[in-house]
Structure 1
Amino acid sequence: MVFALSTTTTEVDKPKIITMREAYTPPKANSSNGRIVPIQHAAESKANFGAEVYGIDLNHFTSADFEFISDALHRYKLLVFKEQPEMLMPQQQYRLTSCFDPDETTGGFAHGADPVLLQEDGVTIYGLPNRPAINVQPQVHILGRGELPPNHFDFPAGFKVKGINHADFHIPPHLPQEERDQGASRFYQWHWDGSLYNIPPPRVGCLLAVRTPKGPDVTVHWGDGTGRTMKIAPGATAMVAGSQALELLDPELRNTVMHSHIEYAPHAFQWMSSARSSQLGHIIETEGLEKPLDELSPWTKDKICIYPMVWTNPVTGEKSLQVHGQGAFKLYLKDTPDGEEKIVTDLKEVRAFMHRMMSPVLSPENIYAHPHQEQDVILWYNRALWHSITEFPESYGPRVMHQCNIAASDHPTG
């Protein structure tokens, strides 16, 4: 499987990938001590998902704990594990994540094999500057910005994770640096996790907060001419529910998306790497800046991902609008299951349709911006939520997160 933004590594260079056959099986127990407390959203919020979990030590969870977690996750879509006695170990973060897909046997990272990032003092670190992998469990990556804590696994002293910068990706006008230093922020990219080519998207995502930025709330600016803003905690992960996105569509459009599909670009992140995003971070602007298909890494038609626009929760039956606006390449639109299909290939039309689908839910009252607390773990159902990272002033200090997501055993089928 080709990782769209990587160079090829040799068999000798590749880190060991623990497979599901080698993965940990939690000890059996009759019942779980887990306790659910639904997140109390602000009075003005219309967000309708999320719960806190107490009473489960994720470093020592049992099979009964996992049954409790799995049921709760499919119902609440986002779980926040509080009062963890110790930092979640990377091996156990992988084990927790992998339990959601017992049929997955490769144990691979959702974006494919990582390249070598650096070699120092006999230690090889894999990944990218903004997403280095932890050697002891290479499916677990470090996200955020700033210097890692001392003696952080195999990383050399002073190692810094590269952060995001909307000025490198969004169309102008960008927020002036002096305003950003005072707490002006952007949503970087609204998405669900997945490679969008060949590799099935993860069922779940998992984030451990190791270090969080310290400072006043930041103000996210939409930048779309509406003047909308939203106060959130620095370094928060913003989320919206795909079910709510579907509900907010007008009846005619909702009927269409229920029967329609999206074709994503081959090596989509490589394809869009030279293009620019809207200021809201939900679609690519049509400027003709995408990489030509014949200049991408080798690809084949049989590995292109064509997904339904609406995905179904296997436990609750709830339907969610799950679309990736920036990777969309072609649309297959139908008003009925057996109706005539309209194929849209013009990128400007594709993106106009994506904007029409995505923009209604991307309003402050529908967004939950999770304020990470150190040592807490969040787990979300990747096939029912969209999320975006957000910017914060560098003076607030580092943001260090351990993320694990694993390629699924199947592609979404609706």
Structure 2
Amino acid sequence: MTITFIPLSLPATADAPKLARFGREVRGADPGNLNPEQFIEIRQALYEHDVLLFRDVTITPEQQYALTKFFDPESQTYGHGQNKTESNQKSILHPDLKTIPRVPQVQVIGNGTVYNHEGLAQAKLKHPSHATFHKTQISPKDEANGVTRFYRWHIDAALYDLSPPRVTTLYGVTVPRGSPQVCRYDDDTGDELPVPLGTTAFVSGKTMFDILPPELKSLAVRTKVKYAPHPYVWMAPARALPTGLGIESEGLELPLKELPPWEEARRKILPVLWKNPGTGQLHFQVHPCGAIELFVDALPEGAKREGALFPDGAHVTDLKEVRDLLYRMQRPAISPNLVYPHDWHEKDLVLFHNRGVLHSVVGALSEDQVRVFHQCNLAASDDPAGPSVEDVHNWA
């Protein structure tokens, strides 16, 4: 059977021309039983479209792990490590992850209590809520009327020791239905986005770079990000911005000396822009919550200096300045017209290019709204490639 790729149904809020290449529904292939030729076609489609959707499929945890591993055969460890950050009570990820015992690379995430599920006698799941992470909160009255927020825009990655996964696979086992909600940005822009209940929101890292003005393109192509050691433990006491795009600079992060043991050599320094292996295009890929320093290269010889930021290069160590610069570059791409909020149905399998998109949990669920998803991503066998010398000359 021929595989076909159908454009995703975009919400009315979307800027359709800007999202014309983003996302495809895959038909004519069983994701749990791909042959090598089909996988090559699927892999290239993922790199070209960033998000792939398989509707109404049945896939076991073993098959989901195998599919995820196809993208990086040398990988085998869950993206946050086999003991993950679940084992560290201080980690902000601790409540979110439950491991399937026989396939430890696959996690159970969701909401409510489930019993006798894939070897778990009982698992209490908690849908992440902005109320536990943002500095400010939606009023109970507004929340009762369906107002919500993005929880945290991020890349699936440990950002310490382990390399960012190439792909994440997310399978909807049990999906509660309910009234749509309105995601409010609460950043004085008036921006709002209608969303399905419990959506996962995606934005394109390529678009994030493409829409930048020249001076910020130049900065992005010359910059690397240094992440905090054990960033999810480091950030846990801090509180996020109302857009979920980074953290308030209030000095609440855990001091580095109070973190679990860490080594400087294992800290991650990654380019701001990651090169897509299938298209050669550049994607702005920064997890703003974990960033702690920026390294900016000087402009290449012959580049225009007028209006350039840090033309002679810089090492930015002031945490507020780091965050403000990243926010300035990333915020335009999460505008309502550039967000794809996926409307989940049971037996949806979504593959997303974890080195090409940012995503966020959205919404609020009550305790009786049981939601069960299987998630798999694997720490990659290499770090993402950054801009080439030619890219720097083209954009700096």
Question: TM-score, normalising length from structure 2?
Answer: 0.89
Q: CA 1:218/1:54 → structure 2, altered by over 3 Å: closer, same or farther?
A: same
- The reply to whether residue 349 of structure 1 matches residue 321 of structure 2 is yes
Match of 2:362 in 1: 390
SS at match of 2:287: coil
Match of 1:75 in 2: 48
Tell me how far 1:103 sits from its aligned partner. Answer: 3.2
Distance (Å, rounded) in 1 between the aligned partners of 2:300 and 2:100:
45
Tell me how far 1:413 sits from its aligned partner. Answer: 2.7
SS at match of 1:353: helix
SS at match of 2:106: strand
Tell me how far 1:334 sits from its aligned partner. Answer: 3.0
* Equivalent residue for 2:222, pick from 252, 256, 259: 259
Match of 1:25 in 2: none
Q: CA 1:116/1:285 → structure 2, altered by over 3 Å: closer, same or farther?
A: closer
Match of 1:58 in 2: 31
Per-residue deviation, residues 134-161 of structure 1 (Å, max 9, x unmatched): 112111001121122x53122225x321
Distance (Å, rounded) in 2 between the aligned partners of 1:256 and 1:117:
36
SS at match of 2:32: helix
Q: Which runs of 5+ in 1 are unaligned?
A: 1-31, 119-126
Tell me how far 1:177 sits from its aligned partner. Answer: 2.5
Match of 1:329 in 2: 292
Match of 1:305 in 2: 268
Distance (Å, rounded) in 1 between the aligned partners of 2:153 and 2:371:
19
Match of 2:307 in 1: none
- The reply to whether residue 162 of structure 1 matches residue 135 of structure 2 is no
Matches within 5 A, 1:15-414: 33-42=2-11, 44-46=13-15, 47-48=19-20, 49-84=22-57, 86=58, 88-104=59-75, 107-114=76-83, 128-148=94-114, 150-157=115-122, 159-172=123-136, 174-337=137-300, 340-394=312-366, 397-414=369-386
Question: TM-score, normalising length from structure 1?
Answer: 0.85
SS at match of 1:58: coil
Q: CA 1:75/1:388 → structure 2, altered by over 3 Å: closer, same or farther?
A: same
Q: Relative contact order: is structure 1 or structure 2 higher (C-alpha 8 Å, sep ≥ 6)?
A: 2
SS at match of 2:337: helix
Tell me how far 1:265 sits from its aligned partner. Answer: 0.7
Distance (Å, rounded) in 2 between the aligned partners of 1:189 and 1:239:
11
Question: Are 1:33 and 1:65, in contact at CA under 8 Å, matched by a contact in 2?
Answer: no
Question: Are 2:231 and 2:290, in contact at CA under 8 Å, matched by a contact in 1?
Answer: yes
**One-letter amino acid matched to 1:343:** H
Match of 2:390 in 1: none
Q: Which runs of 5+ in 2 are unaligned?
A: 88-92, 302-310, 387-396
Question: Are 1:54 and 1:83, in contact at CA under 8 Å, matched by a contact in 2?
Answer: no
Match of 1:122 in 2: none
Provide the aligned C-alpha RMSD in A. 1.9
SS at match of 1:262: strand
Q: CA 1:191/1:360 → structure 2, altered by over 3 Å: closer, same or farther?
A: same
Distance (Å, rounded) in 1 between the aligned partners of 2:208 and 2:233:
27
Tell me how far 1:59 sits from its aligned partner. Answer: 2.5
Q: CA 1:131/1:53 → structure 2, altered by over 3 Å: closer, same or farther?
A: same
Tell me how far 1:40 sits from its aligned partner. Answer: 3.3
**One-letter amino acid matched to 1:169:** F
Per-residue deviation, residues 53-97 of structure 1 (Å, max 9, x unmatched): 01212222222221121111111110001232x3x1000000000
Distance (Å, rounded) in 1 between the aligned partners of 2:207 and 2:113:
37
Tell me how far 1:114 sits from its aligned partner. Answer: 2.2
**One-letter amino acid matched to 1:41:** L
SS at match of 2:99: strand
